[in-house]
Chain A
Amino acid sequence: MTNEVLLDFNNVTMQFGGVTALSDVSVKIFRGEILGLIGPNGAGKTTCFNVMTGVYQPTHGSVVFNGSDITKLKRFQITQSGIARTFQNIRLFSEMTAVENVMVGADARKTSSIPAALLRTKHQRAEEKESYDRSMELLALMGIADRASDAARNLPYGYQRRLEIARALATEPELVCLDEPAAGFNPAEKQQLNELIFAIRDRGYTVLLIEHDMSVVMNVSDRVVVLDFGKKIAEGLPSEVRSNPDVIAAYLGVPDDAA
Chain B
Amino acid sequence: MEDSFNIKFTRGEIVGQWDWTFEIPLFKTIARIGKSGWDRRLKEEIEKIEYLKKLKKENIFFTKVEQDSQNPRIFYVEGTSEENEIVNFLIRLPIQYPFVPPYAEEFYYGKYTFYSYADSGKVACLNQINNRWNKEGRHGIAHFLAMLGYYMALARYNVDLKSFRKRPRKKSK
A pairs with B: no
* A interface residues, Cβ below 8 angstroms from B: none
* B interface residues, Cβ below 8 angstroms from A: none
